[in-house]
Amino acid sequence: MDLYVENNQVNGWSTVRVTGEIDMSNAPELSDFLAQLIQSEQQDLALDLSGIEFMDSSGLGVLVKTHQLLAEREQSLVIRSPSPQVLRTLEVSGLNNVLSVDHSTRDAAAL
């Protein structure tokens, strides 16, 4: 399955909605996209993963790298509305205790 990415800016937040699957075949592309976004935008990042059907450890690596890049800039990453598959992967890895996870479906403007 392919990976689709949509980016919007709302009230000082970049909101990136990702749908499909994040695995070793496309994680580098997603990581590069997010790194470029962080370089070009001076905004916090809400990563909407409600449309992710599968995510392996390479997807976790993307989240950790993105979190680190933003932390270096004193900016925030929020994982918004993770799908059950993503939430389970975050829980098993323990990253749900490291990353900020918002289970609601509210708009990024409300963050």
Q: Say what the pLDDT of residue 44 is.
A: 95
Average confidence (pLDDT) per 10 residues, the chain, 111 residues:
88 92 96 95 92 96 97 96 95 96 65 46
Residue 56, classed as helix, strand or coil, is coil
Q: Which ranges of the chain would DSSP assign to H, the alpha helix?
A: 27-40, 57-72, 84-93
Rounded CA separation 99/76 (Å):
10
Residue 27 Cα distances to 4, 9, 36, 61, 74, angstroms: 12, 23, 14, 8, 24
- Does this model's pTM top 0.85? My answer is yes
CATH code, residues 3-110? 3.30.750.24
Rounded CA separation 42/63 (Å):
18
